[in-house]
Chains A and B, each alone.
Chain A
């Protein structure tokens, strides 16, 4: 009755998360270790340097995918501007590397042919390797926090947020392109030689860089995994499924969303910073609307509700793009487009959803996977007019394990807050 902000210690007695059978509990870590071994030990041995470079590039995209999985899959924020954060991290790193290799007068090559005579003040601090590394994370996080607080506090969400984040990507590209002397314009930053002592022209050093990318991906994955199994992760899912209801749990959903958004932005920034030495160039084309959509589509295809699905999807989509376009330079767009359409229609929860259904079918033998695949799932944000999406009458997928913390698991959003309807808001 006092209502004091007393903190209550957790009781140690009583049931924790439901115990799982040992094999199921080990499945996730086993998969993690298996994929890790494959990437660390098998891939470098089997693949040619060219293919290993490509795999490294896909892994950079997979790092972004982990962030998207967090922001979109868990948090329901359909971010179409992830390229912006990727770009901010990438440019921070690219600027540093360019300064390291600057020609006469300490100017990067493109400034010379753009007619810039002295190094712009904006560039100077990036000569410091530590500053550059810090900016790789801080720049995207800052932009994400600013944007997040501006739009989420105003309860801009769903399609509105999607369109705004897309416009952000468009505006960012235009800004970058317009400042040719500062950013290299459409060309972007190209022709990198060294990366923190690694010679990017040496296959051995390049392989080491690849391993760094694998390690970063693993770390980011574990970070996102821990976040989503924590209370914060539950809160995030709660915000996704009933943002307005969360206010009445004493939380400002805008803050919860902004944090998740900022974390995903930071991951994208780190991915961009690794992309630069891995691929050897960064241009506005890598961060525009199309690039941002491609980042997203990988997550959608892999399965946005599963972090592992997001990673797998990013790898698969980029691999498919390479292979399709190599096999059929004239018609690969058809293949790519068809892949998106088919997956979105027939596997709305992505390949990870299919896998979960298959598992469930094997385990229960009571519901064929086709039914739950065809069952529509609600979008990441609640439809605020209170219309329950079809299928939400039976919102609990038998495939959903009690413990939702394991990365490969599915958390489907449902939740149809009546609060929103009372506020007279439009469907988002």
Chain B
């Protein structure tokens, strides 16, 4: 054989080996995940690297804590839950890729994951196509109800609308909207504007900044010019730190111009610095300070596992709840089979750190109590108002006359 031809052949053989190695990675025994064998595999898919890791890593931690607790209590259907953790890397196609991998390679029973709307939208077709389940633990912009997704965070009528109700109750007549430039803030602000129009509030301005933006002096100057009664803040991640630091140093106080934030929880408060955000309002369904024995055990367990300095927050709690809600549904269904679990889930009610949550079988969202909180100088959030009872999820805002035409 001529020497020149040998090398390509060698390379071809090497490539074939590589490819077949990939093929082998599809371990046929992986099929055990969905029920046979001694464990039940579940996927956990959050960004552990990239810009979104800031928020998502602790949600993963909370979900792993829930799995550990359930296993300690005997698991489900007599089997231990085995988490398979993947990194979404703050990249939406990666979320889709890893979701597919968890479903078809690891054969997981369900997946807990996602944070941004974009990651959810990327994963949605994967789960619908494979008829697999995703539990999505973050408050979001609504207008969605996939039969293969369970939404354990708030939809708009459980967070944004109560926030607006609260401002109205406080006599705030004019608001200014500040948000990051992506889907959640834009949709949220559309809802806010419709609400304001119907409730005699004026929207003095609407500003969006790119994700990761850190220069807010101009936005603050616009606020100073517009002098709104309150600011509705839908900024995400890093931008909140810059916004609040710069808001404070410009001399605008929370008393003169309070902001209501929907993406600032205990964890973000630490990064912003409590002194920079103290006195401002936030809207969530859960705070670390929420009273109740169930929350006390959750906070204690979380600090016990991850360190006393750690705080708990709404998305973490929603992720934690998601695992328990799934486990409860599996127990009720007596199987991890997707359709059975979906069927069994309707109406499941659970005592969680935020209080009682119930799965709404109609849209696979959960009933949640809305809570408005005031950030304290120590970094904790004090509840100043709540909705009294869990609010029925209404992702398309069908029950709100002013919202017709939004979807």
* CA of A201 to CA of B126, assembled, Å: 10
Which residues of chain A are near B118, meaning CB under 8 Å? 186-188, 283, 285
User: Which residues 311-330 in A have Cβ within 8 Å of B in the complex?
Assistant: 319, 322, 325-326, 329-330
Which residues of chain B are near A51, meaning CB under 8 Å? 22-23, 25-26
User: Which residues 194-222 in B have Cβ within 8 Å of A in the complex?
Assistant: 208, 210-211
User: Which residues 107-132 in B have Cβ within 8 Å of A in the complex?
Assistant: 116-118, 121-122, 124-126, 129
B339 within 8 A of A: no
* CA of A196 to CA of B265, assembled, Å: 46
CB distance from A294 to the nearest CB of B (A): 10
User: Which residues 86-113 in B have Cβ within 8 Å of A in the complex?
Assistant: 86-87, 89-94, 96-98, 100-101, 104-105
CB distance from A197 to the nearest CB of B (A): 19
* B93→A325 contact, CB < 8 A: no
Q: A38-B19, A281-B122 are in contact. Are A113 and B187 (CB under 8 A)?
A: yes
* B210→A177 contact, CB < 8 A: yes
User: Which residues 141-195 in B have Cβ within 8 Å of A in the complex?
Assistant: 141, 143-144, 181-183, 186-187, 190
Picked from B5, B96, B101, the residue with its CB within 8 Å of the CB of A30 is B5
Q: Which of A25, A34, A54, A286 gathers the greatest number of chain B CB atoms within 10 Å?
A: A34
* B125→A190 contact, CB < 8 A: yes
Q: A112-B407, A325-B89 are in contact. Are A180 and B186 (CB under 8 A)?
A: yes
* B101→A178 contact, CB < 8 A: no
* CA of A201 to CA of B85, assembled, Å: 26
* A23→B2 contact, CB < 8 A: yes
Which residues of chain A are near B18, meaning CB under 8 Å? 319
* A329→B16 contact, CB < 8 A: no
* A280→B2 contact, CB < 8 A: no
Q: A38-B12, A185-B182, A330-B48 are in contact. Are A283 and B122 (CB under 8 A)?
A: yes
- Residues of B in contact (CB 8 Å), total 59
Picked from A25, A50, A114, the residue with its CB within 8 Å of the CB of B187 is A114
* B129→A185 contact, CB < 8 A: no
* B11→A50 contact, CB < 8 A: no
* CA of A46 to CA of B86, assembled, Å: 25
* B211→A186 contact, CB < 8 A: yes
* CA of A325 to CA of B7, assembled, Å: 31
Which residues of chain B are near A24, meaning CB under 8 Å? 4
B49 within 8 A of A: yes
* A281→B96 contact, CB < 8 A: yes
Which residues of chain B are near A35, meaning CB under 8 Å? 11-12, 15
* B19→A42 contact, CB < 8 A: yes
A345 within 8 A of B: no
CB distance from A108 to the nearest CB of B (A): 12
Count A-B contacts at CB 8 Å.
158
A215 within 8 A of B: no
Q: Which residue of A lies closest to B22 (CB)?
A: A51
Is the contact region of chain B dominated by helix, strand, or loop, or is it mixed?
A: helix
A47 within 8 A of B: yes
* CA of A180 to CA of B208, assembled, Å: 12
CB distance from A41 to the nearest CB of B (A): 11
CB distance from B106 to the nearest CB of A (A): 9
Q: Which of A30, A43, A57 gathers the greatest number of chain B CB atoms within 10 Å?
A: A30
* A178→B181 contact, CB < 8 A: yes
Which residues of chain A are near B144, meaning CB under 8 Å? 113
* CA of A157 to CA of B104, assembled, Å: 47
* B183→A27 contact, CB < 8 A: no
A191 within 8 A of B: yes
Picked from A48, A113, A114, A180, the residue with its CB within 8 Å of the CB of B26 is A48
Which residues of chain B are near A49, meaning CB under 8 Å? 104
* A190→B19 contact, CB < 8 A: no
- The 7 nearest A-B residue pairs measured at CB: A23-B2, A23-B4, A31-B8, A27-B4, A34-B12, A186-B182, A329-B87
A-B contact pairs, 21 of them (CB 8 A): A24-B4, A26-B4, A27-B5, A30-B5, A30-B9, A35-B11, A113-B141, A114-B187, A178-B181, A180-B183, A180-B186, A186-B92, A279-B97, A281-B96, A281-B121, A283-B92, A322-B97, A325-B98, A330-B48, A330-B85, A332-B49
List 5 additional contacts besides A174-B181, A177-B211; criterion CB under 8 Å: A22-B2, A30-B9, A34-B11, A47-B19, A114-B186
